Amino acid sequence: MSRAFNFSAGPATLPESVLRQARDELLEWRDAGASLVELSHRGPEFMQVAAEAEADLRTLLSIPDDYAVLFLSGGATTQQALVALNLASPGQAADYVVTGHWGRTALKQATPYAEARVVASSEAGGFRDIPARGDWRLSADAAYVHYTANETIHGVEFREVPDVGAVPLVADFSSSIAAEPIDVSRFGMIYAGAQKNLGPVGVSVVILRRDLLERAGQPRAPIFDYAAHAKAGSMLNTPPSFNWYLAGLVFKWMLAEGGVAEFARRNARKAALLYAAIDGSGGFYRNEVAPAARSRMNVPFFLHDDALDPVFLDEARAAGLISLKGHRALGGMRASIYNAMPEAGVQALTGFMQAFQGRHG
């Protein structure tokens, strides 16, 4: 077996040691006599897995006790609708900062349930920068302020947590959670689809300040109610138990590797190496994001001649570098270099890029 370096934006690469452990435990989990996929989510075996996963995530992200941690079905787009249902009263406004495709999607998901107002946007500039905080038109009566910490498609990332005063700050951290230390206490809510930096597709993490669970929100069924899920320990319905288990293995792997602080150092080195290769190519490659807003997780780049795009992808695949095609909204290339992407993968990519330029420049 020869595994390629997988630069997919999501579902994304997972640590090989985690995949091997899951493979070894798939047929029978410990001495249970059955696979974890086959065991009840309310049985003692899975209850242990769930408890360990929450404890490890709390340790990994330094989550305070006054925050609930939920493991829920689906992805971040589901949470984008549930945020408004749970945190905004009927007719109440919510402020949205839009810096890319996923910020725009969050706005769209909230619009049926709240007066979703765009208080800042970088769309006019092609989503290549972060709007200056002084230009945001925040409202004191908003239910919350929402932003996307890292835009997976456009490659734009907030490098600082914005100060929005007393209004709860809600952030989509799907593609940058656990990439560096964050002060959870500055947020009312953080949510993230697991399939980029935390685990497999199909499960999301919600970190919610407990006092916000008391908000009445919109009329909704219990299955859409964060407070009901918190009370049930994220087992109001049958959860995606195997996905939850895999995410738990990733948490343990990250802790064993040195935790979030260590991954922040690795991610900084990987991003610096890749951007240096792009910027030092004399225009053969280019990244169009303002340098101060460049993502460490998702690096879109373009060749000087887009006729070379299919050639680049074919040769990269032959070199063991896969999933580099850019999103259809932008074209070009995109390298997603999440926590599980080793530095050796980025070194292989930059070496290939230099060799490709030598052949086709």
What tens digit of pLDDT does each residue of 307-335 get? Answer: 999 999 999 999 999 999 999 989 999 99
Q: What is the DSSP string of 291-335?
A: GGGB-SSEEEEEESSGGGHHHHHHHHHHTTEE--BPPTTT-SEEE
Q: Residues 167-173: what's their mean pLDDT?
A: 98
- Residue in 352, 219, 181 with CA at minimum distance from that of residue 278: 352
Q: In this structure, is residue 175 part of a structural domain?
A: yes
Q: Are 116 and 106 in contact (CB under 8 A)?
A: no
What tens digit of pLDDT does each residue of 14-43 get? Answer: 999 999 999 999 999 998 999 999 999 999
Tokens of 167: 């209004």
Q: What is the Cα Rg of the chain in Å?
A: 21
Q: Which of 102, 129, 244, 270 is catalytic?
A: 102
Q: Which of 196, 225, 244, 253 is catalytic?
A: 196
The answer to whether residues 175 and 292 belong to one domain is: no
The answer to whether residues 306 and 208 belong to one domain is: no
Q: What is the mean pLDDT of the chain?
A: 96
Q: In this structure, is residue 4 part of a structural domain?
A: no
Please confirm, yes or no, whether 253 is among the known catalytic residues. no
What backbone torsions phi and psi does residue 325 show, to the nearest 5 degrees? Answer: -65, 135
Residue 302 has pLDDT above 80, yes or no: yes
The answer to whether residues 174 and 307 belong to one domain is: no
pLDDT classification of 2: cutoffs 50, 70, 90: confident
The answer to whether residues 115 and 194 belong to one domain is: yes
- Residue in 130, 107, 109 with CA at minimum distance from that of residue 117: 107
Q: Are 206 and 226 in contact (CB under 8 A)?
A: yes
Q: Which of 95, 129, 172, 225 is catalytic?
A: 172
The answer to whether residues 66 and 122 belong to one domain is: yes
* Dihedral angle of Cα 110, 112, 118, 123, to the nearest 10 degrees: 80
Tell me, what's the pLDDT at 108? Answer: 97
Q: In this structure, is residue 191 part of a structural domain?
A: yes
Residues of the domain holding 30 = 17-257
Residue 1 has pLDDT above 80, yes or no: no
What tens digit of pLDDT does each residue of 81-90 get? Answer: 999 999 999 9
| Stated pTM of the model | 0.96
Please confirm, yes or no, whether 108 is among the known catalytic residues. no
Q: Are 151 and 298 in contact (CB under 8 A)?
A: yes
Q: What is the residue type of 222? A: P
Cα–Cα distance for residue pair 197/204, rounded to 1 Å:
11
Kindly list the distances between the CA atom of residue 269 and the CA atoms of 10, 76, 273, 341, 344, in Å, as whole numbers in the listed order. 21, 28, 6, 12, 11
The answer to whether residues 106 and 198 belong to one domain is: yes
Characterize the bridge pairing of strands 150-151 and 169-172. unpaired
Q: In this structure, is residue 299 part of a structural domain?
A: yes
User: Of 213, 231, 257, which residue is a domain's last?
Assistant: 257
DSSP E strand stretches across the chain: 5-6, 67-73, 93-98, 115-121, 145-148, 150-151, 156-157, 169-172, 189-193, 203-209, 285-286, 298-303, 321-322, 333-336
The answer to whether residues 276 and 232 belong to one domain is: no
CATH number assigned to the domain comprising residue 115: 3.40.640.10
Residues in the chain: 361
Q: Residues 209-236: what's their mean pLDDT?
A: 96
> Number of folded domains in the chain?
2
Q: Residues 278-291: what's their mean pLDDT?
A: 98
What tens digit of pLDDT does each residue of 97-155 get? Answer: 999 999 999 999 999 999 999 999 999 999 999 999 999 999 999 999 999 999 999 99
User: Of 197, 226, 257, which residue is a domain's last?
Assistant: 257
